[in-house]
Amino acid sequence: MSVRPKVREDHPFLLSTAPVSRAQSRAASGVLGLLGAAMLVTVPFAQVPIDNSQVLVPAYAIAVFIVDLITAALLLAMYSVQRSRAVLALAIGYLFSGAMVLPWALTFPGVAQSLGLPEAGLQTTAAIATLRRLGFPLLVLAYALMKETDPDPQHALESERRVIAGTVAAVIAIVGGLTWLVLTSEDALPRFMQDENRVTAHWRYVPVSAMALCGAGLFALWVRRRCVLDIWLMVVLCTLLIEIILLAYLSSGRLSIGWWAGRLFGVVSASIVLVVLLAETMTLYARLARSILAERRARETRLTALGALSATIAHEINQPLASMVTNANAGLRWLGRPDPDLAEVRAALERIVDDGHRSASVIEGIRAMFKKGTQERVCVNVNDLVTDIIRRDLSEAKLGRITMQTDLDPHLPAVTGNPVQLQQVISNLVANAIDALSNVTDRERLLRVRSSQSDADHVLVSVEDSGTGLDPALRERIFEPFQTTKTDGMGMGLMFCRSVIEAHGGRIWVMDNAPNGAIFRFTLPSAEELMSLTGEATP
């Protein structure tokens, strides 16, 4: 069976996976319209210079820096949940853009002077601006191109913390390196500026290539637009386009009204994704809280239903049982009389026989009820089941600060069985382990699922946790019904696991984990083994 659902289905509530609603599209077009109109309004004044306004450059830079950094942090958080390399690329884009704005502002003519720093070369600022202006759309384009091929499950299990730390370090190193390069090789830089505020003919290649990159990004996003993030990134790229047009074609060089308007558009474009991310996060958070509530209610209903069911079963079995006891007592008393009444004894015994049959049929009925649809047996790859469950429980484990590890034997033979039931068994064991880890505070919360071939024809699966472990007295009875260590448990889960595993011809047991916790293990006969045992061909 196929156990590789699209990741999209696993995280339907993330901004990078949530489908676009009509309202979202309308809002995006609205914002775009407003920005376009704002650009047109500035056109008549674009050439007017604002003298000595370079003192505002650091303020502008700090705003862009902070907004970009927060956006990058949010995107990295999104990456850690979704493990999408495309989102990582986008985060790098924002990080890069945010980090590059600092050297840009510090080397801006007049700024370094006012801050008491040595004045940089004439071409430095323009070179940094070029890198920044080309780097960001390039990474957005990378996002658009990578988002369809995301991600692979193996990749999903490696530590996202390491990836994020590596990424941040790399971006800082690159920005630092580029800045150093630009600062030290002033003479090798292309001549973009003829004086502090006016550009040379060389410069015109920069906005053209930046616009080309934006256009390519827009095209790629348009073709592959799937999620809310895509739509707003298109708005961002459009804003960037407007910014470039204002800066390069409408303004009369640095520090004119058109140039400042372009800068303003830069801040707006940097903020758009941040605002959308925050707004969406709040909405999704509220939705999540609601669905958790609903889930809890459903669970309570299920527990109540289970309680009612077991009460009914108890009554159905107890009735013939009570009758048998009373009939046997009556029979004994008829026998114990001075003149034993054998006819009465016989009648009592016959009623006992009837009661025995009656209770057997009650039990048969219950079994039939639970057996419905469990006959279906197919070839199952246990590793697929484990991977599936781990992926599904990943976010819950992450919430509980639990490290999940798998150690799966790639050459594991297939088993024959009911995939749904086997999946429930593994899922039960993993859920138990997560519960057991939830009150561990003094050590790492570790959950490991292993699969291996225990002997020539058996598959062994173990679920190990570093939780509190099991009371030895309870360990003997843990698989019996109504045995539970949880305050709200029914004590049905492990009983279910055992009955499923045994019905599949396997065995389940529990042992202590060293130094802490418990290990639940079960074996299943491999498909070939089962075939030779039953002498039947499996489908």
- Residue ranges in contact with other proteins by CB under 8 A: 311, 314-315, 318-327, 329-331, 333-334, 337, 341, 344, 347-348, 351, 354-355, 358
Cα–Cα distances in angstroms (integers) from residue 81 to residues 1, 42, 154, 348, 402, in the given order: 26, 42, 15, 68, 14
Shortest Å distance, C-beta 491 to other proteins: 18
In contact, 475 and 510? CB cutoff 8 Å? yes
- Residue nearer to other proteins on the CB measure, 135 or 331: 331
Shortest Å distance, C-beta 157 to other proteins: 49
| Sequence-distant (≥ 6) Cβ neighbours of residue 107 within 8 angstroms | 120, 124, 125, 128, 183
- Residue nearer to other proteins on the CB measure, 226 or 358: 358
- Residue nearer to other proteins on the CB measure, 224 or 333: 333
Shortest Å distance, C-beta 523 to other proteins: 39
- Residue nearer to other proteins on the CB measure, 96 or 334: 334
In contact, 272 and 236? CB cutoff 8 Å? yes
Shortest Å distance, C-beta 320 to other proteins: 7
Characterize 240-250 residue by residue with b for buried, 16 or more Cβ atoms within 10 angstroms of its Cβ, and e for exposed.
bbbbbbbbbeb
Name the helix (H) or strand (E) containing 405.
strand 403-408
- Residue nearer to other proteins on the CB measure, 338 or 373: 338
| Structure-token pair, residue 336 | 């114990």
| Nearest alpha-carbon partner for 465 in 501, 435, 424 | 435
| Nearest alpha-carbon partner for 413 in 448, 450, 454 | 454
Side-chain half-sphere exposure of 369, counting CA atoms within 13 A:
8
Cα–Cα distances in angstroms (integers) from residue 397 to residues 17, 165, 298, 367, in the given order: 21, 21, 21, 35
| Structure-token pair, residue 242 | 């407007």
Shortest Å distance, C-beta 318 to other proteins: 5
Angle ∠(343,346,348) on CA atoms, nearest 5: 110
- Counting Cβ atoms within 10 Å, is residue 215 exposed (0-12), middle (13-18) or buried (19+)? middle
Shortest Å distance, C-beta 501 to other proteins: 32
Rounded Cα distance between 85 and 78, Å, is: 11
Contacts for 266-270 with beta carbons within 8 Å, 24 or more apart? 266/60, 266/64, 266/240, 267/60, 267/63, 267/64, 267/67, 268/35, 268/239, 269/236, 269/239, 269/240, 269/243, 270/64, 270/67, 270/68, 270/71, 270/94, 270/97, 270/98
Shortest Å distance, C-beta 486 to other proteins: 24
- Residue nearer to other proteins on the CB measure, 196 or 344: 344
- Residue nearer to other proteins on the CB measure, 116 or 338: 338
Shortest Å distance, C-beta 307 to other proteins: 12
Shortest Å distance, C-beta 347 to other proteins: 7
Shortest Å distance, C-beta 333 to other proteins: 4
| 257-336 and 228-245 helices, crossing angle to 10° | 170
Shortest Å distance, C-beta 359 to other proteins: 11
Q: What is the DSSP letter of 21?
A: P
- Residue nearer to other proteins on the CB measure, 20 or 330: 330
| 419-437 and 493-503 helices, crossing angle to 10° | 140
- Residue nearer to other proteins on the CB measure, 318 or 405: 318
- Residue nearer to other proteins on the CB measure, 185 or 329: 329
- Residue nearer to other proteins on the CB measure, 11 or 351: 351
| Sequence-distant (≥ 6) Cβ neighbours of residue 132 within 8 angstroms | 96, 97, 100, 101, 104
Shortest Å distance, C-beta 366 to other proteins: 17
- Residue nearer to other proteins on the CB measure, 299 or 315: 315
| Structure-token pair, residue 220 | 């790629």
